[in-house]
Structure 1
Amino acid sequence: MSDIKVPGFKASDLLANVSSSFGTLSDAQKQAQMKKTNGIFELQVSNAEKQTATWTVDMKKTATVYKGSAKPKADVTIILSDDTLMDLATGKTNGQKAFMTGKLKTKGNMMLATKLADVLKAAEPKAKL
């Protein structure tokens, strides 16, 4: 779990929580979540110090979260700030609003990006935001 965390990023704890919540799901629950989402998200997150960290949420084959670029290639790359990711996770903003205001950029399957909020919500019971 700690290999997911990156110092200086609030999203680090969020994604560690998402990862641990995936670990508590039964195989059937993982399969259902992957079938519903069917995509690999690469998150390129920048913090206030202009540092960038990359995480991958694989909801296509393994239902896992890991630090680094997607392997295999991501279906969608989402570029956003640490604060914007936290706002999405807590429901303070939605993906469409963040996209329209330029706080979130995508490369790849833009429609898949709309499912990220559902993936983050799946971890909500464990997330201490």
Structure 2
Amino acid sequence: MTEADLSEPGFEGTPLLNFMKDVLEQEPKLRKDSVKKVKARVVLTLRNKENQKKSWFFDFKENGTVEKIEGDSLPKNDVAITMKDTDFLKLVDYKVQAQKLYLNGRLKVKGNLMKAISIETILKAADPRPKL
């Protein structure tokens, strides 16, 4: 596994991406389950308050890893998700549902929508907060 930091200045959601990367690296069962359940390569592109874009690559097809994408060229993927950084924070913090963001046009999905939905199970499994 790489020790690369996923943080990006100006993007408030990047600590959550680093946390997810760390959990996947430290929990082989979760990593294996993420590949088994999602079976997709996902690109997440966030847009910050200054309208800058940055993307991260989730390989849930082969090895259950998360990497920051350098440059504008996106790797081959099954699903591409685009949203505001602030909406990503709300989504991960359970303040808004992905379906609501999608229906309101605030979360855009290109590719296999069902695979995009399956990512939510991985986010919940990596969440350290007690389940209600």
Give the conservation status (yes or no) of the 8 Å contact 1:40–1:70. no
Greater shift after overlay, 105-114 or 1-10? 1-10
TM-score, normalization by structure 1: 0.88
Q: Are residues 1:34 and 2:35 paired?
A: yes
Q: CA deviation at 1:116?
A: 2.3
Q: CA deviation at 1:122?
A: 2.4
Give CA deviations for 1:46-91 in whole Å, capped at 9, x if unaligned. 00011111001111111111001654x1110001000111111111
Specify whether residues 47 and 122 from structure 1 end up closer, same or farther in structure 2 by C-alpha distance, changes over 3 A only: same
Q: Which residue of the other structure, out of 19, 42, 50, is the alignment partner of 1:17?
A: 19
Task: Give, in whole Å, the separation in 1 of the partners of 2:93 and 2:30.
Answer: 23
Q: In angstroms, what is the RMSD of aligned CA positions?
A: 1.7
Task: Give, in whole Å, the separation in 1 of the partners of 2:12 and 2:123.
Answer: 14
Q: Are residues 1:74 and 2:77 paired?
A: yes
What SS class does the counterpart of residue 13 from structure 2 fall into?
Answer: helix
Greater shift after overlay, 93-102 or 1-10? 1-10
Give CA deviations for 1:102-127 in whole Å, capped at 9, x if unaligned. 1100111111111222222222118x
| Unmatched 5+ stretches in structure 2 | none
Task: Give, in whole Å, the separation in 1 of the partners of 2:80 and 2:41.
Answer: 9
What SS class does the counterpart of residue 16 from structure 1 fall into?
Answer: helix
Give the AA of the match of 1:53. K
Give the conservation status (yes or no) of the 8 Å contact 1:2–1:16. no
Task: Give, in whole Å, the separation in 1 of the partners of 2:30 and 2:122.
Answer: 13
How many aligned residue pairs are there? 124
TM-score, normalization by structure 2: 0.86
Task: Give, in whole Å, the separation in 2 of the partners of 1:98 and 1:42.
Answer: 17
Give the conservation status (yes or no) of the 8 Å contact 2:24–2:31. yes
